[in-house]
Structure 1
């Protein structure tokens, strides 16, 4: 299957297409040295011992992970000061588990991995807080395309070709609908372990309300003044500027955090897809989505 993915990539994007590998059927980016080290990382993550005060932030790539991670960190600290580390340094996907074990609590762990690759049993046993942020798939696709181009990992000028790969599930971390299906299954099977679900679009529309609800879910004391300070500190432009000074993980010679930001808008897909193309995209995406739990907003 890995060879098929690479052949498809070469067909769609040329010889220098994103060099995806595959573990357990999931296409994964080259943030590990090989698929063997990727498999070891996933095996270690599944066995990761969790703590009662751990928080796990889950999101498909380009759905809003960084935004929520910074907000959660501020709420736990009780002040609107930026976390000096990049979120990748607490990311289950890339940080060796032996390093994660040494981190002081509370740990705000974050990941793009699906639930089948997470320490689900320990999550239940420890009743850890789980925060999930999702975003409308049209904007996710557009944002991912430009994100990968920044790293020179997508050697095509055609977003429409990339869209085909996105809907085929051959992009990094696989099909977004499959990710959401697994999230929905976990929620259904663990009704006594509440998951805080929030959409990127809701955060853009009502940031004060969402930060307040998130504080209640995390069971942290806060004030309206602190909420306002956090909302202001976590605006797109301010976070983009602050991240340039953070300690970063390097990837292909580049610092990841400095390549995370582009527009942060809702509805940017409209600059790339016409109405007919958007309708076709939705029909194809819905073929793989098996849940109605997540309501997508395409404009605000």
Structure 2
């Protein structure tokens, strides 16, 4: 790890790619997408020589929990931008991630079948609620480690305010014009266009809040709502269902 590294963390499909691109633009102070794919900066997927070759300051990405981060990141108190998203939209996005990457997952099941995997935590990052409780515990135990929680729904509702909040956390001064331009470049249409005709294109699907209503049955939604109330009430990760 380098002293000026920044980590973008989060459970899969909670806006990690979106926020990673946005943080890159904030740090560069320019509304320009990266000229390389996020996988190069993905700690648990990229070969070390790939992210070692990135210029500083590096914006690194991981889906790992706090305890699984590099020891140096914890020792140096590397700044962390932590994404979160309501579990219902996360589930829908993760299901489509599995379906659209057949060469990786080889999965063709229906959402009704896959939903039980999400509930059981037998998916990429394990149980959604355990994951967030682990981060809540880590933040309580390490209050001196700078960690900013960015909620997907709040970022969608007011992207410019979200950009300012992240920039303040990273101590990057931005003008109103820079914020406006970065917000436009970070918009869903702009992001979709960037990844056109690339392998990543299929991973940029809708970017909506509330699409779960088109997928979850009333019973499925109630199950996730009850689990949210049981495990996330009073934490930093209380879900937002609508904006």
TM-score, with structure 1 as normaliser: 0.76
Q: Which runs of 5+ in 1 are unaligned?
A: 1-49, 247-254
Query: Which 5+ residue runs of structure 2 have no aligned equivalent?
Result: none
Matched, 1:123 2:70: no
Note the 1:67-216 alignment, pairs <5 A: 67-119=18-70, 121-152=71-102, 153-156=106-109, 158-216=110-168
Shift of the alpha carbon at 1:290?
Answer: 8.3
Aligned residues: 240
Measured against aligned partners, the alpha-carbon deviations of 1:115-153 in whole angstroms (never above 9, x if no partner) come to: 23211x322322211000100000000111111111223
RMSD, aligned CA: 1.7
Structure 1: how far apart are the matches of 2:91 and 2:69? 24
Find the counterpart in structure 1 of residue 17 from structure 2. 66
| Equivalent-residue separation in structure 1 for 2:85 and 2:148 (angstroms) | 14
* Conserved 8 A contact 2:89-2:211: yes
**2:149 and 2:227 mapped to 1: Cα distance?**
24
Change (3 A) 1:290 1:90: same
Post-superposition CA distance 1:7-28 (Å, at most 9, x none): xxxxxxxxxxxxxxxxxxxxxx
1:182-240 Cα offsets, whole Å, 9 max, x none, are 21122111111121111000001111111011111111121000000000111111111
Q: What TM-score do the two structures reach when normalised by structure 2?
A: 0.93
**Residues 58 and 132, structure 1, Cα contact 8 Å, conserved in 2:** yes
In 1: Cα distance, 2:233 partner to 2:132 partner: 8
Residues in 1 aligned to 2:32 and 2:202: alpha-carbon distance in whole angstroms? 21
- Offset at 1:291? 6.3
In the superposition, relative to structure 1, how do residues 71 and 103 fare at CA in structure 2: closer, same or farther (>3 Å)? Answer: same
| Residues 224-263 of structure 1 aligned to structure 2 (within 5 Å) | 224-244=176-196, 255=199, 257-263=200-206
State which structure, 1 or 2, has the greater radius of gyration over its C-alpha atoms.
Answer: 1
SS at match of 1:262: coil
